[in-house]
Structure 1
Amino acid sequence: MSGYFSDFAPLAYDPQGSGPGFRHYDPNEVVMGKRMEDHLRFAVCYWHSFVWEGGDPFGGQTFRRPWFPGDTMDLAKLKAEAAFDLFRILGVPYFTFHDHDVRPEGASLTESRRRLEEMADLFETKMAAGGPKLLWGTANLFSNRRYMAGASTNPDPEVFAYCAATVRACMEVTHRLGGENYVLWGGREGYETLLNTDLTQELDHMGRFLNLVVEHKHRIGFKGAILIEPKPQEPTKHQYDFDVATVYGFLKRYGLEQEVKVNIEQGHAILAGHSFEHELAMANALGIFGSIDMNRNDQQSGWDTDQFPNSVPEAALAYYEVLRGGGFSTGGTNFDAKLRRQSLDAEDLVMAHAEAMDVCARGLKAAARMLEEEALEGPRRARYAGWAKPEAQAMLGAGASLASIADRAEAEGIDPQPASGRQERLEAVVNRYV
């Protein structure tokens, strides 16, 4: 290997080591009957790792990498070489990308599609030579100024058509590369002000577009899952895909709840006023859990900072819900995370991923122990035990009425007494595992 990451050998599990390596992530360790690698299904994202230049709202590029500015196919291929080098160093089984990440946009839709297909040729070669598989692909329908008023929700029908062509190309490349999912991230599917917005029309257009995507999935024989990534606020004030519950309501309205699932990001969950584990539990309860983007937000900042995860307790609670729901099927753990703009070196990118993988491994093992020992499930079952009684079940049956339930309550003189939820005790239980 030569190039940007030439100083790094593939990382190994080395729990007692002092140099680069994994202290907790052993891909072959068996957890709840499955290899750790098969539980976690790690993926490195193309965009933050290889496209972001280190800018922020108050300052420009801080990273100087050999493939920047990435505006030619030669630079795109150099970037791909570096990307697959990092994938090999980390030993991740998957990667993810937007179309715009891997190729520069052409002068026309046709040229953009051809460039994407040319990059897919290179990816196929790399993947066949032992590179990782594709967890999911997606289209960038938010960066270009054409999307400033939305993508499928744009008031201009030509933007809708442009999006259709872009998504078709990206879906077909994802299918060709054996991608296990296809993600729609509605970065600008929302509005700034109601003064110029027709909510009903925009929602209907978004619903129609998603139906077209699902129809095309079946037409081309793509077997992967279609995922929506919920995101509140930022960049638009009112996002139509605010959180898991909002997305589910949208899917129900447009008849897609059996066809589309969700890709949940930790940072987005926090922006929506939820915890990550809440969104995961909600997705499982509604039957639409698909995959996760693992990252974190700065607790002192009110926006989506996309930092690498570093909290074992947070990871444990997240993977607890993943495992409790049966684990990943087509989904996985995608590191939608970026370095701080002062972290300039190749080593920073390697170690940020390695440490995050260790955090997730520790969280997974803690979550598995809590499940196996019924540390939370036992108390949870006891709390709801009254619902196992015949008279309680009868209230939920088709023959019950409000009046019949009320009559029984009066006849039996029911006088319920509150029972402790024992929250602090359960929080202490979790702490013993992490």
Structure 2
Amino acid sequence: MSTGFFDGIAPVRYAGPESTDPLSFRHYDPEARVMGRRLEDHLRFAVAYWHSFAWEGNDPFGGPTFVRPWHPQDEMGRARMKADVAFEMFALLGQPFFCFHDADVRPETGDYAGNLAGLDEITDYFGPKMEETGTGLLWGTANLFTHRRFMSGAATNPDPDVFAFAAATVKGCMDATHKLGGQNYVLWGGREGYETLLNTDLEQELDHLARFLHMVVDYKHKIGFQGTILIEPKPQEPTKHQYDYDVATTAGFLRKHGLESEVKINIECGHAVLAGHSFEHEIALAVAEGMFGSIDMNRNDYQSGWDTDQFPNNVPEVALAYYHILKGGGFGTGGTNFDAKLRRQSIDPQDLVAAHVGAMDVCARALKAAAAMLEDGGLEQALRERYAGWSRPEAQAMLQGDLAAIQKRVLDEGIAPEPRSGRQEILEAYVNRFV
């Protein structure tokens, strides 16, 4: 039954590249086959419950701009109404997945038992809706950063009672994710970092964070959860320094604590930019480390200097991200979660649907370009040519030798290498042929 919130908006359909309707797909045909797979199966789209339905349009300098019938989100009746609207939009878009934090879907009661009861009630409410719409849960997670109790962190908090509250909250969220058939569980430590070293014991906080992650992994196996545990890096904002700063930092942390085979990485475009990296860099590095899991798709405003969480609109940037995902074998349990929100001035229900339609088209167009580049093989051929010298027996033998043997060879053979072009501009022009 319709909620009335999206009255006048029909289910979104593929209309082709010539369409001018902002509520139809121009590039995303879920049944189209790319590299032998359906486009829907490649992209594995998900809607972020927090930005699309829980966020009220506020920012650090202004209050809410969205007037929704489920605001304020302070009791279970409004939580159910919010769920009704959310699943109506999932059906309009044909979304295969959604993602949520516990605090997105139930009211904050101020105590753990009340929060858990609300989460249990709303996930029971989700079950039939998921069956009716065919929308699954890509991942669940716990909000361990909004409430004032987490102002000094969760797993890294100096107060053991906060650690306990956070651990209990994660346990409840893992149970909910498992119950709903979620394919992943995400840990995002929005305040797992410090604001000043004057009051921070780095060694103790990092040890506690590692122990917390081991508890999560142990509980996953205890309940038979078959999904993937993901950790999502971010460099700062709101903290001065967050412990999972970027993919490299996170990979090093996981390896140090023996978690590299148990935890993969969820990479957000906006967080990559805040860390001074590109989206493709973070994905390529995670693939190289064997730790790639999933992505949060969005973009930052490059003039603002903070995490603006806008919907993606840069096809070349997104194409290079998907290139490395496809090259690495594609998504396993992960997918493309739109961790993106409307601008505060985009207040109409149509804006919410159109934002996802446009973003899905950008991703579809980008993935098709990435697949075309892989099938053409130009970038891979350029890599093979650039590193061809390492295939020679003497080069491989050098890696097994020592410095003295290498010095002797350089002297005996008179090795005096000349630099070779990296061909960057030629390769950039090559990419532009596809996007």
Superposition TM-score, scaled by structure 1 size:
0.99
CA distance in 2, matches of 1:410, 1:224: 55
1:168-183 equivalences in 2 (<5 Å): 168-183=171-186
3-state SS in 2 of match to 1:433: coil
Q: Which residue of 2 aligns with 1:407?
A: 408
Aligned to 1:325: 328
Residue 114 of structure 1 aligns with an amino acid whose one-letter code is A
Q: 1:165 aligns with which of 165, 168, 173?
A: 168
Is 1:203 the counterpart of 2:233? The answer is no
Contact 2:50–2:100 at 8 Å: present in 1 too? yes
C-alpha separation between the residues in 1 aligned to 2:341 and 2:413? 61
Letter in 2 for 1:430: V
In structure 2, the partner of 1:294 is: 297
Contact kept, 8 Å, 1:84 with 1:131, in 2: the verdict is: no
2:130 maps to what in 1? 127
Mapped contact 1:153–1:189 kept (Cα < 8 A): yes
Matched, 1:21 2:21: no
Distance 2:404 2:223 in 1: 54
RMSD of aligned residue pairs (Cα, Å): 0.8
Which residue of 1 is the match for residue 50 of structure 2?
47
1:36 to 36, 39, 49: 39
Give 1:158's aligned amino acid.
D
Deviation at 1:217, TM superposition (A): 0.3
- Find out whether 1:391 has 2:420 as its counterpart: no
- Contact 1:87 1:131 (C-alpha < 8 Å) held by counterparts: no
- Once the two structures are overlaid, the 10-residue window that deviates more, 151-160 or 18-27, is 18-27
CA deviations on 1:75-105 (whole Å, 9 max, x unpaired) are: 0000000000110111010000000000012
**Is the contact between residue 90 and residue 133 of structure 2 (CA under 8 Å) also seen in structure 1?**
no
* Moved beyond 4 Å, runs of 4+: none
Q: 1:109 aligns with which of 101, 109, 112?
A: 112
Number of the residue aligned with 1:416: 417
Q: Which residue of 1 aligns with 2:192?
A: 189
AA in 2 matched with 1:375: G
Instruction: Tell me, in whole angstroms, the C-alpha distance in 2 between the residues paired with 1:387 and 1:331.
Output: 34
Q: Does 1:147 align with 2:140?
A: no
> Aligned residue for 2:432?
431
Q: Determine the structure 2 residue equivalent to 1:58.
A: 61
Q: Structure 1 residue 284 and structure 2 residue 287: aligned? A: yes
Q: Does structure 1 retain, via aligned residues, the 8 Å contact 2:35–2:371?
A: yes
Q: Specify the SS of the correspondent of 1:376.
A: helix
Cα distance in structure 2, aligned partners of 1:173 and 1:206? 22
Instruction: Identify the residue that residue 12 of structure 1 maps to in structure 2.
Output: 13
- Cα distance, 1:119 vs structure 2: 0.6
Provide the rounded CA distance (Å) in 2 between the counterparts of 1:98 and 1:36: 27
For residues 192 and 70 of structure 1, the distance between their equivalents in structure 2, rounded to whole angstroms, comes to 30
CA distance in 1, matches of 2:241, 2:138: 29
3-state DSSP of counterpart to 2:433:
helix
Aligned equivalents of 2:296, 2:378: Cα separation in 1: 27
The offset of 1:253, in angstroms, is 1.5
**One-letter amino acid of the counterpart of residue 359, structure 2:** A
Contact 1:151–1:163 at 8 Å: present in 2 too? yes
Q: How many angstroms does 1:107 deviate by?
A: 4.1
After superposition, give the CA deviation of every residue in 1:128-186 in whole Å (9 maximum; x if it has no partner): 11330000000000000000000100000000000011000000100010000000000
Q: Secondary structure at the match of 1:136?
A: strand
Quote the Cα distance in structure 2 between the aligned partners of 1:17 and 1:232: 40
1:312: which partner in 2? Answer: 315
Q: How does 1:365-376 map to 2 (within 5 A)?
A: 365-376=368-379
TM-score, normalisation: structure 2: 0.98
The 1-side partners of 2:172 and 2:313 are apart by: 36
Work out the CA distance in 1 between the residues paired with 2:134 and 2:162.
Answer: 35
Q: Which amino acid aligns with 1:25?
A: Y
Deviation at 1:109, TM superposition (A): 1.2
Does residue 381 of the first structure (1) align with residue 384 of the second (2)?
yes
Cα deviation for residue 17 of structure 1 reads 3.0
Give the secondary structure class of the aligned counterpart of 1:408: helix
Q: Determine helix, strand or coil for the equivalent of 1:129.
A: helix
The answer to whether residue 220 in structure 2 is matched with residue 243 in structure 1 is: no
Indicate conservation of the 8 Å contact 1:207/1:254, yes or no. yes
The code of the aligned residue for 1:70 comes to Q
- List gaps (5 residues or longer) in structure 1: none
| Structure 2, unaligned runs of 5 or more | none
Question: What does residue 74 of structure 1 align with?
Answer: 77
Q: How big is the shift at 1:111? A: 1.8
CA distance in 2, matches of 1:363, 1:249: 31
Aligned-partner Cα distance in 2 for 1:2–1:184: 33
Any idea what SS the aligned residue of 2:378 has?
A: coil
Please say if residues 137 and 171 of structure 1, whose CA atoms lie closer than 8 Å, have aligned partners that are also in contact. yes
1:14, CA displacement in angstroms?
A: 0.4
Secondary structure at 2:185 match in 1: strand
Give the counterpart letter for 1:412 in structure 2: E
Counterpart amino acid of residue 24 in structure 1: H
- Would you say the 8 A contact 2:194–2:241 is kept in 1? yes
**Post-superposition shift, 1:405?**
1.4
Q: Distance in 2 between matches of 1:108 and 1:137?
A: 20
1:207, CA displacement in angstroms?
Answer: 0.4
Tell me by how many angstroms 1:106 deviates. Answer: 2.4
1:3 has 2:4 as partner? yes
Question: What do residues 353-387 of structure 1 show as CA deviations (whole Å, max 9, x unaligned)?
Answer: 00000000000000000000012111111000000
